[in-house]
């Protein structure tokens, strides 16, 4: 399993456990105890995935998430926090997090989720549906030959739907596959599809009471 993961975690025992567990799976992992060190490292080399604590000695993980997504929208982010209420999870996901894991967490589950996110970087290098071409190697998308500027979650959502074109995809399936979270109340999915439609991606068909279908034509 290839991939580079940065972990922002001020608890050395938790950071060490995550690092050991990921490196045992062949994933390169670097840990940082404070926001300053983490953001310095991000500026020098961008990882494939970042794991962010929220309550930190020199900052707030939600604010770090917003800055990271503004600078590097295609970098994946998983929030890891003792703040495990539904409102906290929804806030993190709506701010751009790719997943949210509440403490205390199972190490096996965390490793599985990290590996799942890294796998999404792979797959067929080129997907084509109608006038849409998506390249996983460069993480670029064109519509009728013109590039679309997508953030990481928009890219992953579009990729998953293109891979499952003409299949009815329930809301819970999409939320779980793309965000690792099932919550019928959040508008995260609908907001992302609305933005893709606004960019000219007209393939999304709403299946009322169920979810969406990505039409080939």
pLDDT of amino acid 125: 67
3-state secondary structure of 8: strand
Q: How do residues 80-91 score in pLDDT, each as one tens digit? A: 988 878 888 888
- Is the pTM higher than 0.75? The answer reads no
Q: How do residues 37-82 score in pLDDT, each as one tens digit? A: 999 998 888 888 999 999 999 999 999 999 998 888 778 899 998 8
pLDDT of amino acid 182: 59
The phi and psi torsions of 13 (rounded to 5 degrees) equal -70, -40
pLDDT of amino acid 52: 96
Give CA–CA dist 155/130, Å, rounded: 17
Residue percentage of the chain with pLDDT more than 90: 52
Arithmetic mean of pLDDT over the chain: 88
- Which domains are seen in the chain, by residue range? 4-119 (3.40.50.2300), 126-214 (1.10.10.10)
Whether residue 1 has pLDDT greater than 50:
no
Average pLDDT rounded to a whole number, residues 207-214: 93
Pick from 3-12, 103-112, 128-137, 145-154: least confident:
128-137
Q: Quick one: tokens of 37?
A: 């060190």
Q: Quick one: tokens of 78?
A: 């998983």
Give CA–CA dist 77/54, Å, rounded: 12
Q: How do residues 13-30 score in pLDDT, each as one tens digit? A: 999 999 999 999 888 999
The phi and psi torsions of 128 (rounded to 5 degrees) equal -135, 125
Residue percentage of the chain with pLDDT more than 70: 94
Give CA–CA dist 174/25, Å, rounded: 27
Tokens 């596959």 correspond to what residue? 177
Give CA–CA dist 122/137, Å, rounded: 7
């Amino acid at each position: 399993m290839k991939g580079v993961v940065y972990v922002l975690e001020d608890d050395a025992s938790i950071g060490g456990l995550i690092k050991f567990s990921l490196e045992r799976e062949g994933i390169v992992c670097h840990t940082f105890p404070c926001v300053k060190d983490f953001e310095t490292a991000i500026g020098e080399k961008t990882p494939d995935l970042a794991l962010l604590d929220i309550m930190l000695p020199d900052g707030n993980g939600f604010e770090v998430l917003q800055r990271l997504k503004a600078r590097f929208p295609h970098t994946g982010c998983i929030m890891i926090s003792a703040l495990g209420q539904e409102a906290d999870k929804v806030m993190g996901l709506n701010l751009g997090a790719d997943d949210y894991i509440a403490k205390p967490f199972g190490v096996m589950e965390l490793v599985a989720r990290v590996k799942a996110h890294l796998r999404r970087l792979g797959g067929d290098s080129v997907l084509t549906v109608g006038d849409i071409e998506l390249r996983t190697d460069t993480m670029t998308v064109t519509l009728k030959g013109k590039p679309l500027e997508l953030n990481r979650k928009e890219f992953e959502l579009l990729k998953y739907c293109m891979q499952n074109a003409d299949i009815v995809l329930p809301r819970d399936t999409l939320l779980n596959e793309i965000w690792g979270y099932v919550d019928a109340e959040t508008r995260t999915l609908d907001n992302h599809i609305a933005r893709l439609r606004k960019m000219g991606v007209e393939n999304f068909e709403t299946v009322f009471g169920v979810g969406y279908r990505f039409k080939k034509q």
